[in-house]
Structure 1
């Protein structure tokens, strides 16, 4: 653990222990990964008793759910603030780049948000709502492009396809499955892959609607 982690009781203040637990857990998550993030290690880093910590988070699963909720809310806020101002012709590329940059800055948090640690059936309502907020940013962008209402079937389908694409690309890059040449930027990768989709869909359209 890095020297930046708190490690004594002098860092503990009764009034904001919940915030300290989340902040420390967020840092620890990025340092050691979700598998090694434990309530015991967190309490030791903050210099608090397990009893005090469990007063705010009854178990590790509740702590992880709160971290993921925080991540989704931050992602939704970034998409809302940055993507909404993009011109129409830049919305798809810009949205994808904002999303990818979020994953780049928060790799462990991103993997927690979409990983197996959080089972859908066990997700608390606040986590489900935060996830929907992030997805709704994408729906609004797609609705604007298609000039339809956000709740239309076409918007829902296109938004799901878009999220599948950028999530897949982000995961491939974070796990280094997709090797990126050093001289190729993330923006260029997005442009290339979107161009690839355009070629594929044009060929598909030509085959099902021959002249």
Structure 2
């Protein structure tokens, strides 16, 4: 038999996780404008009051989605670095970044939201932790002089943030195919020819 503390922690995780899962689905399928705490509660099959127990407001829920996004992106960057499919860790990390942007455009835009970044230090820290995983791959790349690797990592990350800003300027968060092709082809060239 479980103790009361065990049951409570499972319930907390369950309700919170269901709310975040529903919010993630709404964000991906309908966009942030259609996301309300009521819609999330209905989608998750929980009461609105339950959501307010775990999230003070919609902004806090969006923050938590963005934090989860950075954790997922960081894991993807690290996982891709060990994939034999790529010639080097820098290329693998960039592919992880761009794959995440392409497959989760609304979440990607949310993660790099200027409004959320400006308000929440935790989000800036999550981005920095994710950047460090990317920076490690760039600094391990011996195709460029060691003294330029750290600066190259920052510049390439800034390129990724710029792509996020461009994506968020489109209503559905997706780049038109011709724009996406040009951006990703140019970024790929820069990453694969660093000398």
Counting matched residue pairs gives 179
> For the structure 1 residues 86 and 103, does the alpha-carbon distance in structure 2 shift closer, same or farther, using more than 3 Å as the test?
same
Aligned position for 1:6: none
Query: Are residues 1:123 and 2:120 paired?
Result: yes
- Over 3 Å counting, the alpha-carbon distance change for 1:84 and 1:72 in structure 2 is same
Q: For residues 182-201 of structure 1, what are the structure 2 equivalents within 5 Å?
A: 190-191=187-188, 193-194=189-190
Q: CA deviation at 1:52?
A: 1.3
| Counterpart-to-counterpart distance in 1, 2:66 and 2:95 | 21
CA RMSD of superposed structures (Å): 3.5
Q: Residues 129, 147 of structure 1: CA spacing in aligned structure 2 closer, same or farther, 3 A cutoff?
A: farther
Corresponding position of 1:79? 77
More helix by share: 2
Distance 2:109 2:163 in 1: 13
Stretches of 4+ aligned residues off by more than 6 angstroms: 184-187
In the alignment, the residues of structure 2 paired with residue 119 and residue 163 of structure 1 have an alpha-carbon distance, to the nearest angstrom, of 15
Normalized against structure 2, the TM-score is what?
Answer: 0.74
Contact preservation (8 Å) 1:76, 1:137: yes
Distance 1:89 1:189, change over 3 A: same
Question: 1:145 matched to which residue of 2?
Answer: 141
Shift of 1:186: 9.2
Aligned equivalents of 1:188, 1:154: Cα separation in 2: 23
User: Could you say which residue in structure 1 is the equivalent of 2:34?
Assistant: 36
Residue of structure 2 equivalent to 1:179: 178
Q: Is the 8 A contact 1:75 1:134 kept in 2?
A: yes
Residues 33 and 108 of structure 1 are in contact (CA less than 8 Å); yes or no, is this contact kept in structure 2? yes
Q: Report how far residue 73 of structure 1 moved.
A: 0.5
SS of the aligned residue for 1:179 comes to: helix
Q: CA deviation at 1:44?
A: 2.4
Range moving further from structure 2, 164-173 or 153-162: 164-173
- SS of aligned partner of 2:175: coil
Alpha-carbon separation, structure 2, partners of 1:116 and 1:140: 25
Q: What is the distance in 2 between the residues matched to 1:165 and 1:185? A: 13
Q: In structure 1, what is the equivalent of residue 19 of structure 2? A: 21
Q: What stretches of structure 2 of length at least 5 have no aligned partner? A: 1-9, 168-172
2:74–2:130 contact (8 Å) kept in structure 1: yes
- Offset at 1:95? 2.1
The superposition leaves residues 71-105 of structure 1 with CA deviations (integer Å, 9 ceiling, x where unpaired) of: 00001001111114559953333222221111111
Question: SS of the residue aligned with 1:145?
Answer: coil
Question: How far apart are residue 170 of structure 1 and its match?
Answer: 6.2
